[in-house]
């Protein structure tokens, strides 16, 4: 496949959508009530003015001390730099002793990582060299000459807790002896390659398989031999079998078969221990849906007057349900094998102009709280992901007697929607302005630079996995 075909692939994966969460007010932490000076009782009055003076002095001193501490903590939480290490430690000790779990069935405290804001943290995202860890060429933004690197100076601050930085040793220990798989569209690949790069900073690894055509990146696999860990990426944009455009980007539409899972990942499903599912972007492209040898619907296809447009929500739900059934339901081949399945929510793109306008995603800072809202379609896709994950988790518990396999949701929609600055843009190409500024140039405003905001997806994934280990001790 040529670089031109690769550019077409990026365009097909991406659909321009405005995205950001509605504004919220962040209030100060509520402290326990402090004593305040009160009127003296009758007994105090009888004890004489000396005792009255002592009482007032003590009460006043206590009230003043509590007021001072309250102001100190308020300023520490909300006005001091949240990027400071001391501030992060204090906040995590006082109010954030939580870990992330999906449905909370084991009773441990939970952290909602989906709500929060991006805060300045100089150097926080400068963790690795994307060229050295086989990241896709089009996402090596620094290597391709992107001059502004401020997009690496932010970290995600959840609203109610602390998100620790990625710890390669902790992650590899949590998946020792396991097969970690990323299944879905190119955002699954984006996150999988981010994880390889994060782990490579501390652990030896080797690429054990890749597509014959390096541009394709439909199936890649790495090994981390010190801990007997395998990490695989399976490109299956609908999770089920699909032909047409997925095979040839020049084709006008997708042909999607809703009664048959994509063969490569489903054939390997019984070997997987940790599975991250990410999909959604290809459902926007014109598609014809088949079931049992018949056309049952289409979406955004013109000229099929006798076929109903079934939209994207129904196929999205159906394919996700099929994948979850294959992994933790009745379709699981090895029912004695327990696994953790993580369903990632939709990560919006940020095309503000035409896809081939060089300035279509040229922002250099995250959105502020309330600056953009998450769209209704993205919210609905998130709701479907949570509903299907909860249903699959309940079925797995019922089938396994309350233990074993686990289904979680990795809700990245808001944190991703607030990062229009984190995409390659025109720096999906090497030195795009070396010969001047072209009028038209393909831009990638869907995937994230590597390193970049997508690393935060894996910070949350680590918390999900380690919370499971803690709950089983």
pLDDT reported for residue 309: 96
Distances (CA, A) of 48 to 51, 60, 412: 6, 18, 65
pLDDT reported for residue 400: 64
Phi, psi (5° rounding) for residue 254?
Answer: -95, 145
pLDDT tens sequence across 80-118: 434 433 343 333 333 333 333 444 344 345 789 999 999
Q: Are strands 254-261 and 219-224 parallel, antiparallel or unpaired?
A: unpaired
Q: What radius of gyration, in Å, describes the C-alpha atoms of the chain?
A: 26
- Report the predicted TM-score, pTM, of the whole model to 2 decimal places: 0.79
Residue 38 maps to a domain: no
- Local structure of 129: helix, strand or coil: coil
Domain hosting residue 147, numbered range? 3-20+117-471
Cis peptide before 451 (omega within 30 of 0): yes
pLDDT reported for residue 292: 96
pLDDT reported for residue 214: 73
Question: Where are the alpha helices (H) located in 400-451, listed in sequence order?
Answer: 413-417
Residue 140 maps to a domain: yes
Round to whole Å and give the CA distance between 455 and 452: 6
Round to whole Å and give the CA distance between 460 and 278: 15
Residue partners of 102: CB distance under 8 A and separation at least 6: 389, 393, 406, 407, 408, 409, 464
Q: Determine how many CB atoms are found less than 10 A away from the CB of residue 8.
A: 17
pLDDT reported for residue 62: 52
Question: Where are the alpha helices (H) located in 47-185, listed in sequence order?
Answer: 49-78, 85-95, 168-174
Is residue 153 part of the annotated active site? The answer reads no
Angle at alpha carbon of residue 123, lines to 120 and 128, rounded to 5° = 135
pLDDT tens sequence across 135-153: 999 999 999 999 999 999 9
pLDDT reported for residue 358: 93
Residue 154 maps to a domain: yes
Residue 96 maps to a domain: no
Largest CA distance in the chain: 97
Q: Determine how many CB atoms are found less than 10 A away from the CB of residue 245.
A: 21
Residue 216 maps to a domain: yes
Is residue 13 part of the annotated active site? The answer reads no
Residue of 114, 186, 194, 200 marked active site: 186
Residue 416 maps to a domain: yes
State the burial class of residue 155 (Cβ atoms within 10 Å of its Cβ: 0-12, 13-18, 19+): buried
Q: Which of 173, 180, 217, 184 is nearest to 196 (CA)?
A: 180
DSSP conformational letter for 240: E
The total number of structural domains in the chain stands at: 1
C-beta of residue 273 within 8 angstroms of C-beta of residue 340? yes
Residue 418 maps to a domain: yes
Collect the ranges in the chain with pLDDT lower than 50: 1-12, 14-56, 59, 66, 73-108, 471-473
C-beta of residue 383 within 8 angstroms of C-beta of residue 49? no
Residue 43 maps to a domain: no
Is residue 447 part of the annotated active site? The answer reads yes
pLDDT reported for residue 40: 35
pLDDT reported for residue 51: 45
Residue of 185, 444, 455, 467 marked active site: 444
Residue of 429, 447, 455, 467 marked active site: 447
């Amino acid at each position: 496949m040529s670089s031109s075909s690769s550019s077409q692939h990026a365009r097909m994966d991406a659909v321009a959508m405005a995205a950001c969460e509605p504004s919220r007010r962040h209030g100060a932490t509520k402290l326990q009530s402090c004593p305040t000076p009160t009127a003296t009782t009758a007994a105090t009055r009888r004890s004489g003015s000396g005792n009255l003076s002592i009482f007032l002095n003590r009460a006043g001193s206590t009230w003043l001390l509590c007021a001072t501490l309250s102001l100190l903590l308020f300023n520490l939480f909300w006005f001091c730099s949240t990027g400071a290490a001391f501030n992060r430690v204090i906040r995590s000790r006082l109010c954030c002793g939580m870990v992330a779990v999906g449905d909370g069935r084991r009773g441990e405290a939970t952290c909602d990582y989906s709500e929060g804001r991006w805060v300045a943290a100089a150097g926080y995202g400068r963790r690795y060299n994307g060229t050295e860890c086989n990241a896709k060429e089009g996402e090596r933004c620094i290597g391709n000459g992107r001059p502004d690197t401020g997009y690496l100076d932010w970290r995600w601050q959840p609203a109610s807790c602390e998100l620790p930085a990625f710890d390669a040793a902790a992650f590899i220990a949590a998946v020792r002896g396991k097969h970690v798989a990323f299944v879905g569209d190119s955002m699954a690949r984006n996150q999988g390659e981010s994880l390889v790069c994060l782990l490579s900073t501390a652990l030896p690894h080797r690429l054990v398989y890749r597509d014959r055509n390096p541009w394709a990146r439909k199936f890649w696999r790495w090994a981390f031999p010190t801990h007997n860990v395998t990490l695989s990426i399976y490109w299956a944009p609908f999770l089920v079998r699909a032909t047409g455009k997925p095979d040839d980007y020049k084709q006008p539409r997708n042909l999607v078969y809703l009664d048959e899972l994509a063969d490569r990942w489903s054939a390997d499903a019984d070997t997987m221990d940790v599975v991250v599912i990410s999909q959604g972007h290809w459902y926007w492209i014109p598609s014809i849906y088949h079931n049992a040898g018949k056309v049952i619907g289409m979406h955004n296809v013109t000229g099929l007057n006798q076929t109903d447009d079934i939209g994207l929500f129904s196929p999205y739900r159906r394919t996700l349900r099929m994948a979850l059934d294959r992994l933790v339901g009745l379709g699981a081949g090895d029912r004695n094998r327990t696994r953790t399945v993580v369903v990632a929510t939709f990560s919006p793109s940020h095309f503000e102009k035409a896809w081939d306008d060089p300035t279509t995603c040229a922002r250099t800072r995250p959105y502020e709280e309330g600056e953009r809202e998450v769209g209704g379609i993205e919210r609905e896709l998130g709701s479907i992901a949570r509903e299907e994950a909860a249903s699959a988790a309940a079925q797995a518990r019922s089938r396994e007697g309350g233990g074993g396999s686990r289904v979680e949701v990795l809700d990245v929609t808001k944190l991703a929607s607030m990062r229009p600055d984190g995409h390659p843009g025109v720096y999906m190409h090497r030195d795009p302005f070396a010969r001047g500024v072209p009028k038209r140039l393909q831009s990638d405003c869907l995937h994230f630079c590597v390193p970049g905001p997508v690393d935060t997806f894996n910070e949350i994934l680590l918390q999900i996995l380690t919370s499971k280990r803690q709950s089983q001790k």
